[in-house]
Amino acid sequence: MDKMPNWADVVLVPLISLFLAFALSGLVILAIGENPLEALQMMVTGALGSTYGWGYTLYYATNFMFTGLAVAVAFHARLFNIGGEGQATLGGLGVALVCLSFEWPHWTLALIAAMAGGALFGAAWAAIPAWLQAKRGSHIVITTIMFNFIAAAVLNYMLVNVLRPDGAMDPATARFPEGTNLPTLHDMLAVFGIPFSKAAPVNISFLIALLACFLVWLLIWRTRLGYEIRAFGHSESAARYAGISGVRITMIAMLISGGLAGLMAINNVMGEAERLVLNSVEGAGFIGIAVALMGRSHPFGVALAAILFGFLYQGGAELALFTSIPRELIVVIQALVILFTGALDNMVRMPIERIFLALNRRKEG
């Protein structure tokens, strides 16, 4: 064996990274004169101590799963899609247009149509940077970032000038019709007689996000297209040898990626707000990058990382509400988690690897 076992790679390393991030966060909290243990307890009870807390944690996690998957799919084709934010924004527009266009008889029909609308708008928004990358060589990191700003401006324009109901002061669409309201986890669990907080926004989109994780796994590891995406991502020159078109893979991977980001809107726009407001995405597109990094671009890893970040979001909100720890500190904690699990991955991995190698050698010797 010249490498460490797989479980250490996918479980131990992220856990240690996480621990380090939390330890450092604790020091920061200590430095501003608060008790880190109390803060941790507050976060855990706030996010996981009640069905209400869970409801919010999973609601956030749903957003992050979609955007995390979006980044992960593109990443398999070695495309760094930083445009999840903009694609999800446009996805929201698509969902809103679908929901408002028609007096929907039942939420199931509305959901299917809204998914199509959100995915289509998100994919279309990713298609332009993808085309520029594939055909013109414009770097996708630059173009997707710029498209985030354009998306925000487009949404602003649409809400202020087109979608705002007459007489309303608020740059937001009208409330979606009754027939588009999605069942919440409370509604669904009630069928089985399991009590769950009524106030929490987690809804059926959570299950769709889990399904999306599974389908992305199937796509990447079990289909020809996934094979080609991975092959292209690992080696462009080899893809050329095999006759895999780089233009085609770049386009398809980005369309899927944008579509997944756009799908997020069924959760935050259709499921929670039930209308489209400014800045509806609230940075979930960027959290998706961290989620994909921490989940190592594997859908199951993405699902777990999304739940972790959902916990950080909800626990952080509780912290800001009930202690004198400022809200900005939550951002610091999130940033540390991203820093340690994403950017500083090798800092933890290398020493662990060395330890395992040394153990192996002793066993052999």
Partner 1 sequence: MSAPAIELKGISKSFGPVQANKDISLSVARGAIHGIIGENGAGKSTLMSILYGFYKADAGEIFIGGQKTEIPDSQAAIAAGIGMVFQHFKLVENFTVLENVVLGAEDGWKLGPSLRKARQELTALAKEYELNVDPDAVIEEIGVGMQQRVEILKALYRKADILILDEPTGVLTPTEADQLFRILRRLRDEGKTIILITHKLREIMDATDTVSVMRRGKMTATVKTAETNPEQLAELMVGRKVLLQVEKTPAKPGDVVLSASNLRVVDDAGVERLRGVSLDIRAGEILGIAGVAGNGQSELLEVLGGMQAAEGSLTLNGTDLELVGPQANGRARRARGIGHVPEDRQREGLIMDFHAWENNAFGYHDDPAFNTGLLMNNRALRKDTEKKIAEYDIRPANAWLTAKNFSGGNQQKIVVAREIERSPDLLLIGQPTRGVDIGAIEFIHKQIVALRDAGKAVLLVSVELDEILGLADRIAVMFDGRIMGERDAGATDERELGLLMAGVTDEGDN
Provide the binding-site residues for partner 1, judged by CB under 8 A: 1-2, 218, 222-224, 227-228, 230-231, 234-235, 237-238, 240-245, 357, 360-361
**DSSP 3-state assignment of 32?**
coil
Which of 12, 215 has the CB closer to partner 1? 215
- Quickly list DSSP for 320-364: HHHSSS-HHHHHHHHHHHHIIIIITHHHHHHHHHHHHHHHHHHHH
**Minimum separation from the CB atom of position 27 to partner 1 (A):** 34
**DSSP 3-state assignment of 295?**
coil
Cα gap 285→298, rounded to integer Å: 17
Which of 123, 229 has the CB closer to partner 1? 229
**Minimum separation from the CB atom of position 244 to partner 1 (A):** 7
Which of 106, 224 has the CB closer to partner 1? 224
**Minimum separation from the CB atom of position 217 to partner 1 (A):** 12
Which of 108, 235 has the CB closer to partner 1? 235
**Minimum separation from the CB atom of position 259 to partner 1 (A):** 18
Nearest to 91 by CA among 245, 260, 304: 260
Question: Tokens 């149509």 sit at which residue?
Answer: 113
Which of 135, 222 has the CB closer to partner 1? 222
Cα gap 310→55, rounded to integer Å: 10
Which of 6, 161 has the CB closer to partner 1? 6
Give Cα 86 to chain centroid, integer Å.
13
Cα gap 210→192, rounded to integer Å: 20
**Minimum separation from the CB atom of position 241 to partner 1 (A):** 4
Which of 199, 238 has the CB closer to partner 1? 238
**Minimum separation from the CB atom of position 235 to partner 1 (A):** 6
Nearest to 9 by CA among 303, 361, 352, 363: 352
**Minimum separation from the CB atom of position 303 to partner 1 (A):** 21
Token pair of 183 as six digits: 């069942």
Which of 236, 274 has the CB closer to partner 1? 236
Token pair of 342 as six digits: 């994403």
How many of the other CB atoms lie within 10 Å of CB of 198? 13
**DSSP 3-state assignment of 277?**
strand
- Name every residue whose Cβ is closer than 8 Å to that of residue 314 and which is 6 or more positions away in sequence: 46, 47, 53, 56, 57, 60
**Minimum separation from the CB atom of position 364 to partner 1 (A):** 8
